[in-house]
Amino acid sequence: MINKSLFLTYLYLLIYILLSSGVILYNKWVLSPKYFNFPFPITLTMIHMGFSGAVAFLLVRVLKVVAPVKMTFEIYATCVIPISAFFASSLWFGNTAYLHISVAFIQMLKALMPVATLIMAVLCGTDKLRWDVFLNMLLVSVGVVISSYGEIHFNVVGTLYQCTGIFAEALRLVLTQVLLQKKGLTLNPITSLYYIAPCSFAFLFVPWYFLEKTGMEVSQIQFNFWIFFSNTVCALALNFSIFLVIGRTGAVTIRVGGVLKDWILIALSTVIFPESAITGLNIIGYAIALCGVVMYNYIKVKDVKASQLPPDSIPERMTKDWRMEKKSSNPFAPDDNIDDDTSSGAGKVSSISDMNVDEEMPLMASSRLSHIGRSQLSSRDA
């Protein structure tokens, strides 16, 4: 018989892959002038943030599913506001890229996320540059350049939008760890939405007012409630599916699932959107970049495991290895068996972003932050 826990793990992973792919394709369909023709990415993002903030308020203040954290004005001003600003920027630029380049090419460009995060971490002083990691990042960059060269419908504007969104997201990840962790805050996905979504909505209002408000007034586009409602619900469900997956699997499983999702998404996009054809050079370049990402993940996992395994007896070491791969079946409970990439301070910020963080996944770093904080406290106590 199939183990129930294992079945639920892979079921959640499948739901995550389907929701992640579905939200990306849905956003492309809504924004593309060739299909639903709603070319207002800031407006779409504001709808997502407004709905997410409202749901979070309902869960926190009305239903009291989770309790709010002790948020002071100083913490809100120095932590939540800058994180929300870069979060809003990453969503804005990432969604705008759908207007100019294909879904397949966007997924290939997202392979640059580890490179961007490493650069930001080094600049912020939270990580050090090593030659082995540098060579892997160079391999990723070369692969992305080859993939870009092979893109049939290469668009400079769309590529710049996507790359800017990637670096904005990378800086948000660094700030999430540097700022919130120093304050000792632990935010789960619900409390993250409660504090960050309204602030991100406010930041998006400024560019919306100057860039899209006038265009929407003269546009002949009719607002379809069910299209936008279903799109927003899917985006919100994706956030919670990520939380469930993180609670039940190890980091290696999640990364493999992410890679599988990217390949599935690239294949589906070429079927659903015939204009987004891919070439052999696209595939070769992306494969090279993916090799660099896999090698980088291997190095980070190996480093963290080495830092966690003192000279113990062989049985004790085997027990620790087993515990590092096993996760609690309850994602909402504190878990001593932490992911191998977040269970030590040695992983630093780059371990937060070992997964490809899409603009459709705003809570990835925040939901993992509580695990990082607990694991670092436990390592200090030891």
Mean pLDDT of 312-331: 43
Mean pLDDT of 54-64: 93
pLDDT tens column, 358-378:
445 444 434 333 333 333 333
Asked whether residue 118 carries a pLDDT value surpassing 50, the answer given is yes
Write down the pLDDT at residue 86.
95
DSSP 177: I
pLDDT tens column, 329-339:
333 333 333 23
Burial 29-66 (b: 16+ CB within 10 A, else e): bbbbeeebebbbbbbbbbbbbbbbbebbeebbeeeeeb
Nearest by Cα to 141 from 163, 158, 170 = 163
Ranking 85-94, 117-126, 311-320, 342-351 by mean pLDDT, the lowest is 342-351
Q: Which pTM value belongs to this model?
A: 0.77
Measured distance CA(309)–CA(263) in Å, rounded: 35
